[in-house]
Structure 1
């Protein structure tokens, strides 16, 4: 029996040009997500209310929640990582590596120890659609780990061609990372999830975990059982912890990302092109 059998898909709203980076905020009973190309962010509450959460958003893309419930965002426009405080003010946490600007931080997760892990492909600087056209100041596209209390920044992985989404396993001993370099390198690129061992503030022993098709792996999340829910061109593919496909949710729009939320953590919120969807899954 498929993990996705009999799931009901709900379309919640369609306010975006390109919806991305959903994050569940339990204190607000709401999902905040980015409209990257619209340079704004929205908040959808479970009561059904939708409102603009921030505009302009500095072309925010991926978002995460820290242990205090604050929103951590990847900003293409300012090419850094920001934190939205409880009073609504925004603090820039990190925007340079060795004095050089990042490319355009894309997706982010926060570990239980408070460290912030993020990917840095070039998609926010290749044109003015999702940021500001600019030349890269760093050689390559890396995955970074930032420790807010100490201000220490570490290159956690350097073997990725175009890193995008990322997520920890339930026990945080592993990290999964999407590499979607097939877009830029049609004959040599990757369309896969990779898996790494977590060693302090770095990753090691990276290897291919699963190929994602059709389309590319963009954003994804991991549930309490260790299943990975990953975006693809026509929906969300579910993989088990061994990399076997155990189901698929078909959607009418191209999927960018997803996150788990709701009071019981069993609601999968999916951003797909212009819309936010919800699917209740078994946990």
Structure 2
């Protein structure tokens, strides 16, 4: 697939909102035709209304939420740095899904995806307990940074990826047989891929390997998404970089600010939204997210 089929005009990047301190965790909410995202240091959740173009505050004093993902029922599953948990927001009522493992608290869940079977997969680096503006000081109670999986209500929580240095963004291939994880370690920032096997025994994640790296001047991968063709879209310090399913670089979309995360949305799912430092940007694409709700 040619990059021009995916992004007809890479220069047509539109800023639709600004005023955040560090914008993160965008999620399109079809029921309200809004884009929801976090201003982590501002400890608030903002939203952009597609009908009017207006931006307002969805919630404040939210305990430093970060990444979020649309659940199968239209509610939003999100990560809380401050409460060190993954939680569900259903029409403004927020409840915990997972907040600890093996007798200790999680670090600070960062990003999350919900699989087609309702299972919740999330990354757990330590930014919320080590970065003063992103949560509360704390310690790594299980001593590492892992990717976890649990049932829709937190049941059967367990680590599934333990070899990524700083697991950050994550996304599934269209058939959910491959899990991509952005490992944002300063020493070796890379997007890793893992095979996902589901059988009578359960779910096994194995064969971890390097999938792709950003260019030397592009910083680290943070949020990632996968489109219906299996292409991986990664945030970078210079914009958005797109790789095909084999890890070959297809092209890049320059963005004026450091991109933290991204998602597809809009009424037909082909609009790409990215949070980037103080702002949110939109670009029209020729594809859509691998996950359709």
TM range (shorter): over 0.9
Going from structure 1 to structure 2, the CA distance change for 1:175 and 1:230 (only over 3 Å counts) comes to same
Write out aligned runs for 1:3-22 (5 A): 3=4, 4-7=7-10, 8-22=12-26
Aligned to 1:129: 133
Match of 1:74 among 79, 86, 92: 79
Aligned to 2:56: 51
CA distance in 2 between counterparts of 1:117 and 1:149 reads 12
Contact (CA 8 Å) 1:41, 1:54: kept in 2 or not?
A: yes
Contact (CA 8 Å) 2:8, 2:286: kept in 1 or not?
A: no
Q: Quote how far apart the aligned CAs of 1:16 are.
A: 0.7
Q: Quote how far apart the aligned CAs of 1:149 are.
A: 4.6
Aligned to 2:3: 2
CA distance in 1 between counterparts of 2:147 and 2:123 reads 4
CA distance in 2 between counterparts of 1:127 and 1:105 reads 13
Q: Quote how far apart the aligned CAs of 1:46 are.
A: 0.8
Q: Quote how far apart the aligned CAs of 1:220 are.
A: 1.2
Write out aligned runs for 1:127-276 (5 A): 127-149=131-153, 151-182=155-186, 189-200=187-198, 201-213=203-215, 214-276=218-280
Q: Which runs of 5+ in 2 are unaligned?
A: 288-293
What's the TM-score, normalizing by structure 2? 0.92
Q: Quote how far apart the aligned CAs of 1:52 are.
A: 0.5
Superposition misfits of 4+ residues, deviation over 2 angstroms: 1-5, 199-202
CA distance in 2 between counterparts of 1:101 and 1:263 reads 38
Q: Which runs of 5+ in 1 are unaligned?
A: 183-188
What's the TM-score, normalizing by structure 1? 0.95
CA distance in 1 between counterparts of 2:108 and 2:153 reads 23
> What secondary structure sits across from 2:268 in the alignment?
coil
Aligned to 2:290: none
Q: Quote how far apart the aligned CAs of 1:151 are.
A: 1.3
CA distance in 1 between counterparts of 2:90 and 2:50 reads 22
> What secondary structure sits across from 1:181 in the alignment?
coil
> What secondary structure sits across from 1:69 in the alignment?
coil
CA distance in 2 between counterparts of 1:22 and 1:50 reads 14
Aligned to 1:185: none
CA distance in 2 between counterparts of 1:163 and 1:244 reads 22
Cα shift readout 1:191-221 (whole Å, capped 9, x = no counterpart): 1100011124341111000012310000011
